[in-house]
Structure 1
Amino acid sequence: MAIPLLLLNMRPWRRDTGLRRRDVAIPTDLPNTDAIFLVLRRMRLPLITLLLVFGVAVGGLTLIPGVDEQGAPSHLSVFDAFYFMTYTAATIGFTETPYVTTATQRMWVVVCIFATVATWAFALGSLFALLQDPTFRRATGLQRFRRKVAAIREPFWIVVGYGEAGRRLASAVDRLGRRIVVLDEDPGRIDVLVADQMELDVPNFAGDPRNPSLLGFAGLGHPKCEGVLAMTDKDEMNLAVIMASTLLRPEITVMSRCSERANLTRMADFAPAAVINPFERYGNYLSLDFNRPVTSRLTQWLLSPPGSPLPEAHPVPTDGHWVVVGDDDFGSEVAADLTEAGMDARLVDVKDEVDAVGAAGLVAGTSSDTVNLAVAAHARIQNPDIFVSLRQKSAKMTALVDAFAPDATFVATDLVAFEILARLEAPLFWGFIEYLRTLTDEEAEPLLTTLRGALGDRAPTAGKFTVTKREAPALTRWLGLGHTLTIGQLLSSTDDRERSIAVFPTVLVRDGTSTPLPDLDEELRPDDELAYLANEDGGAQLQQTLFHDTSIEYVATGTRLPETWLWRLLRRAGSRRKER
Structure 2
Amino acid sequence: ISRARAAHRIHRIRESFYLLCGYGEAGKVVTRFLSEVGERVVVVDRSENAINELKLSEMPFETEALIGDASDPEQLQRAGLTHTLCKGVIAVVGDDEENLKIMISAKLLNPGLKAIGRVNEADTADNMRSFGTDHIINPFNTFAWHFSLAFSSPSLHLLNDWLSQTDYQTLNDPVFPPRGLWILCGFGRFGKALHRKLEEQGNTVIVIETLPEAADAPEGTVRGRGTEAVTLKQAEVERAVGIIAGTDNDANNLSIIMTAKALAADLFTVARQNHNRNAPLFKAADVNIVVNQNLLIANQIITLLTTPLTYQFLKQANKQGVQWSNELVSRIGATVDERAPLIWVMDLTAQAAPAFFQAVRDRRELTLGQLYREPHNRKVRLPAVPLMIARAGDYILAPDDATTLQVGDRVLFCGPRAARSKLFSTVTSNEIMIYLITGRHRIISPLWRYLAGGRNE
Range class of TM-score, shorter chain: 0.7 to 0.9
- Quote the offset at 1:443 in angstroms: 2.1
C-alpha contact (below 8 Å) 1:389/1:406 kept by paired residues: yes
- Quote the offset at 1:450 in angstroms: 4.1
Name the structure 2 match of 1:203: 64
C-alpha contact (below 8 Å) 2:147/2:157 kept by paired residues: no
Name the structure 2 match of 1:52: none
C-alpha contact (below 8 Å) 1:502/1:534 kept by paired residues: yes
Name the structure 2 match of 1:261: 122
Structure 1 pair 526–572 and aligned structure 2 pair: CA distance change class (3 A): farther
- State the alpha-carbon separation in 1 of the partners of residues 285 and 455 from structure 2: 74
C-alpha contact (below 8 Å) 2:164/2:303 kept by paired residues: no
Secondary structure, in 3 states, of the residue corresponding to 2:319?
coil
Q: Deviations over 1:9-35 (max 9, x none)?
A: xxxxxxxxxxxxxxxxxxxxxxxxxxx
Match of 2:142 among 281, 293, 313: 281
1:214 aligns with 2:214: no
C-alpha contact (below 8 Å) 1:180/1:203 kept by paired residues: yes
- Quote the offset at 1:358 in angstroms: 1.1
Match of 1:502 among 370, 378, 383: 383
C-alpha contact (below 8 Å) 1:332/1:347 kept by paired residues: no
Name the structure 2 match of 1:61: none
- State the alpha-carbon separation in 1 of the partners of residues 419 and 128 from structure 2: 41
- Quote the offset at 1:308 in angstroms: 8.1
1:223 aligns with 2:84: yes
Question: What runs of 5+ residues in structure 2 fail to find an aligned partner?
Answer: 211-222, 225-230
Q: Deviations over 1:275-327 (max 9, x none)?
A: 11111111112101111112223333444565988755441121x21111115
- Identical aligned pairs, as a percentage? 26
Name the structure 1 match of 2:2: 141
- State the alpha-carbon separation in 1 of the partners of residues 152 and 77 from structure 2: 47
Match of 2:413 among 532, 544, 550: 532
C-alpha contact (below 8 Å) 1:561/1:568 kept by paired residues: no
Name the structure 2 match of 1:130: none
C-alpha contact (below 8 Å) 2:43/2:63 kept by paired residues: yes
Whose relative contact order is higher, 1 or 2, with alpha carbons under 8 Å and at least 6 apart? 1
- Quote the offset at 1:389 in angstroms: 0.8
Letter in 1 for 2:146: Y
Name the structure 2 match of 1:243: 104
- State the alpha-carbon separation in 1 of the partners of residues 379 and 65 from structure 2: 55
Name the structure 2 match of 1:163: 24
Name the structure 2 match of 1:421: 302
- Quote the offset at 1:374 in angstroms: 1.7
Larger proportion of helix: 1
Number of residue-to-residue matches in the alignment? 434
Secondary structure, in 3 states, of the residue corresponding to 1:189?
helix
Structure 1 pair 561–217 and aligned structure 2 pair: CA distance change class (3 A): same
Letter in 2 for 1:145: A
Query: What aligned pairs does 1:519-558 form with structure 2 within 5 A after superposition?
Result: 519-536=400-417, 538-558=419-439
Name the structure 2 match of 1:234: 95
| TM-score using structure 1 length | 0.69
Name the structure 1 match of 2:218: none
Larger proportion of strand: 2
Structure 1 pair 312–188 and aligned structure 2 pair: CA distance change class (3 A): closer
C-alpha contact (below 8 Å) 2:18/2:41 kept by paired residues: yes
Letter in 2 for 1:354: L
- Quote the offset at 1:232 in angstroms: 0.4
Name the structure 1 match of 2:227: none
The structure with more radius of gyration? 1
C-alpha contact (below 8 Å) 1:367/1:393 kept by paired residues: yes
- Quote the offset at 1:524 in angstroms: 2.5
1:342 aligns with 2:223: no
Letter in 2 for 1:164: E
C-alpha contact (below 8 Å) 2:23/2:44 kept by paired residues: yes
| TM-score using structure 2 length | 0.87
Question: What runs of 5+ residues in structure 1 fail to find an aligned partner?
Answer: 1-139, 576-580
- State the alpha-carbon separation in 2 of the partners of residues 572 and 255 from structure 1: 61
Letter in 2 for 1:322: W
Q: Please say which of residues 479-488 and 232-241 is displaced more in the overlay.
A: 479-488
Name the structure 2 match of 1:394: 275
Secondary structure, in 3 states, of the residue corresponding to 1:324?
strand
Q: Deviations over 1:13-63 (max 9, x none)?
A: xxxxxxxxxxxxxxxxxxxxxxxxxxxxxxxxxxxxxxxxxxxxxxxxxxx
- State the alpha-carbon separation in 2 of the partners of residues 293 and 274 from structure 1: 26
- State the alpha-carbon separation in 2 of the partners of residues 396 and 245 from structure 1: 32
- Quote the offset at 1:420 in angstroms: 0.5
Structure 1 pair 450–141 and aligned structure 2 pair: CA distance change class (3 A): closer
**Root-mean-square deviation (Å):** 2.6
C-alpha contact (below 8 Å) 2:164/2:299 kept by paired residues: no
- Quote the offset at 1:376 in angstroms: 1.6
